[in-house]
Chain A
Amino acid sequence: MKKIGLTPYLLLLPSLIYLLLFFAYPMVQSLQLALRREGQYLHLRAEAKEEAAPTGTVAMQTDVTVLDRVRGEELLPNGRTRPVYWFLVEGPDTSGVPVQGWVSQRDVFIESRTESTTARVVNGEATQEWTLDYVRRMVTDFRFGNALATSVLLIVLILPLQFILAIVMALVLQSQIRGSTVFLYIYAIPLGISDLASGILWYSIFTQRGFLNSFLVSTGLLDQPFIFIQAGNQGWMIAAIVLAEVWRATSIVMVIVVSGLQAVSRDVIEAGEVFGANLWQRLRYIILPMLKPSLQVALILRTILAFQVFAVVVAITGGNVITVLANETYRWYDPARFNNPNVAAVYAGFIMLLSLGISFFYLRAVRSQEEATRAT
């Protein structure tokens, strides 16, 4: 290790700026998209002048009653003048309370400047304001509940299978069989496979003329192909997605568990063996407790990644009957469909909050469990 200078900071600076630019800035932007709205409001004035003090704020399209009017003159660039009317109006402000004030003719629509007694506000200042409209739109969308339920269901189904399979894989690799490096590489192959490719792979198995039906029909188990992927067969569609995800994303858990196992000293496991612990006891009382930090990290990572599952769902089911949160984010954003980046940003923020919340919950759950065992 070298002595401290400015050097390490200078070396790190470009990366930190880059990360800030691409992580922190979009987060602020996302908040803006999700919770802020461009609004237009008209300020009523105490006198018939632009610079007069405001008396209240009225929203666009508010109907107001005209109580009084004055005729003024406006100087045009060519030196001539033209009449400009100001109206004293009364109407509900943004919170519904009646207010009175002067408005210029260019801010209201009025049938007759000299005679009409009602007008409508049509102009105003653009302002940014906080709004829950987009959030409301997301929550009330009929697909939202569906997407949330499916996302959670997929996590509940996929994660336990993944962890069991990953631990089995890791134990197999650690049992000093010949060719274990070859097996490790084979097990690690899905690490580099995208969720889209994996979705297409499993689609080829589950589709009507796919491999599963080919197998079932040619072995005589079925007379004719069974259509797994169709609107009425949600269970099979979910099953196909679960298999595709377990197939693709177990590798990363496996790598984390294997490196965690390598840290568990063999002596400890062998000591367990010497004292007569069987495989289950060794697993339950020695290996799993020592793997806990690795498992915890893998759990957080996999949960966060699971909320982003998107292409698998689209590849296998088309993304209409079965939908997940990430898919909804895309549908709302897609210019060819809803074209509403604001609601998409709300979805994105919701995914973010869920990921954070669940990570926090895992950390808390594990810690309180540790405290409980220490107390006893």
Chain B
Amino acid sequence: MTETTYPDRIKPITPSAERLDAQRRRAKLAHAVRRASIYILAVAIAIWILLPIWLIASMAFSTPADVRAFPKQILPSPFSTQTLEFFLNTQGIINSTINSLVVAVLALVISTLLAVPAGYAIARYLFPGRDAIRLGILSVRAFPVVVLAVPLAVVFIRLGMFDKVHSLAMMHAALTLPTTILVVASVFASVPYELEEAALIFGCTRAQAFWRIVLPLALPGIAAAAILTFVLSWNEVFAAILLTISNRTLPAQILYTLDKSGDPFKFAGGFFMLVPSLIFIFFIRRYLFNMWGQINK
């Protein structure tokens, strides 16, 4: 018996145990390095997002003297509410904050009341023109507010609705209505139709089935959409500054007085406007993808 000889090319690979081990270890190490670098990247991006917020918050919660100090400390100077108090006591700030809240709540109410039936219709009925209407609503959701604000201001002046809090709320409701309808529709669509059918079988009328079964299930989603409207309205500045003069909302007031104000006012104002957005993300987190994810369908 002669030992089989192989040409070099097809020599069977019989790795030794040690070599196998080393290979496995190397693969493990490479994997660990990859995981670690992903974590580092994830944390780095999180710092990129959070650092500016931290900086402005540390300024808002310090004394005006610390705000003007140089060089500034990255770690917060002694905690103080003086800068925020100074901001809130500036003339027009409390008023404009109240205006902002009124506008945002009104916009929220209008857009929710309109969007719930519309969203339900899109989610539950198949009717001629449904796709066209959906597409139309989709296409106006990105409609530039800059384009609408100028003519609306002129129309509002003519109708005697200029510089009124409720006119601005109506405009904000219009801006968010397309998004709200689509979000509400996707929320309704996620409520199983079988539940509604069961309610009908057990003797509910259609309205009762909606009121008792569908609406309670959809309520968290509708609330999220409403909060979205609130925040968009709270943030909106272009239409606000065009449509109001004496009844300015907070961002419009801040923007209007920006070039005449010092850093303590600006930083405290920046932080103050930021607060609702930080809470907002907590409330809508489950519906993040309902709001922006379904955009291309």
Say whether A192 contacts B125, CB under 8 Å. Answer: no
Q: Does A215 contact B (CB under 8 A)?
A: yes
Residues of B within 8 A of A191 (CB): 277, 280-281, 288, 292
Say whether A204 contacts B55, CB under 8 Å. Answer: yes
Among B15-23, B37-45, B216-224, the stretch that binds chain A is: B37-45
What is the CB-to-nearest-CB distance from A264 to chain B, in angstroms, rounded to a whole number? 13
Say whether B255 contacts A311, CB under 8 Å. Answer: yes
Of all chain B residues, which has the CB nearest A199? B270
Say whether A330 contacts B117, CB under 8 Å. Answer: no
Residues of A within 8 A of B277 (CB): 189-194, 197
Say whether A259 contacts B289, CB under 8 Å. Answer: yes
* Mask: chain B, 268-286; 1 = CB below 8 Å from A; 0 = not: 0110011011101110010
Residues of A within 8 A of B171 (CB): 22
* Mask: chain A, 352-366; 1 = CB below 8 Å from B; 0 = not: 100100000000000
A292 to B276, CA, bound (A): 34
Interface residues of A in 160-194 (CB under 8 A from B): 165, 168-169, 172-173, 175, 177, 180, 183-194
Say whether B258 contacts A15, CB under 8 Å. Answer: no
Residues of B within 8 A of A15 (CB): 114-115, 117-118, 177, 181
What is the CB-to-nearest-CB distance from A201 to chain B, in angstroms, rounded to a whole number? 5
Interface extent on B, as a size class?
35 or more
Residues of B within 8 A of A304 (CB): 142, 144
What is the CB-to-nearest-CB distance from B144 to chain A, in angstroms, rounded to a whole number? 5
Say whether A330 contacts B273, CB under 8 Å. Answer: no
Of all chain A residues, which has the CB nearest B46? A186
Residues of B within 8 A of A57 (CB): none
A192 to B278, CA, bound (A): 7
A310: contacting residue among B69, B128, B151, B237, CB under 8 A: B237
A194 to B230, CA, bound (A): 12
What is the CB-to-nearest-CB distance from A70 to chain B, in angstroms, rounded to a whole number? 43
Residues of B within 8 A of A188 (CB): 281, 285, 288
- A214 in contact with B72 given A12-B117, A26-B151 (CB within 8 Å): yes
Q: Does A213 contact B (CB under 8 A)?
A: yes
Of all chain A residues, which has the CB nearest B72? A214
Q: Does A110 contact B (CB under 8 A)?
A: no
A184 to B293, CA, bound (A): 14
Interface centre among A168, A172, A207 (most CB of B within 10 A): A172
A: number of interface residues (CB 8 Å) = 101
What is the CB-to-nearest-CB distance from A29 to chain B, in angstroms, rounded to a whole number? 4
Say whether B74 contacts A11, CB under 8 Å. Answer: no
Residues of A within 8 A of B147 (CB): 26-27, 30, 348-349, 351-352
A259 to B133, CA, bound (A): 24
Of all chain B residues, which has the CB nearest A243? B52
Chain A residues with a Cβ under 8 A of chain B: 1-2, 4, 7-9, 11-12, 14-16, 18-19, 21-23, 25-27, 29-30, 32-33, 165, 168-169, 172-173, 175, 177, 180, 183-197, 200-205, 207, 209-211, 213-215, 217-218, 225, 247, 252, 255-256, 258-260, 262, 293-294, 296-298, 300-301, 304-305, 307-308, 310-311, 314-315, 318, 325-326, 329-330, 333, 335, 341, 344-345, 347-349, 351-352, 355
Q: What are 5 of the A-B contact pairs (CB < 8 Å)?
A: A12-B133, A188-B281, A191-B288, A195-B235, A311-B251
For the complex of A and B, list the 7 residue pairs with the smallest distance between their C-beta atoms, beginning with the closest. A259-B293, A192-B277, A200-B270, A194-B235, A22-B174, A214-B71, A29-B151
> With contacts A14-B114, A311-B251 known, what are 4 further pairs, Cβ within 8 A?
A12-B117, A19-B174, A183-B46, A191-B280
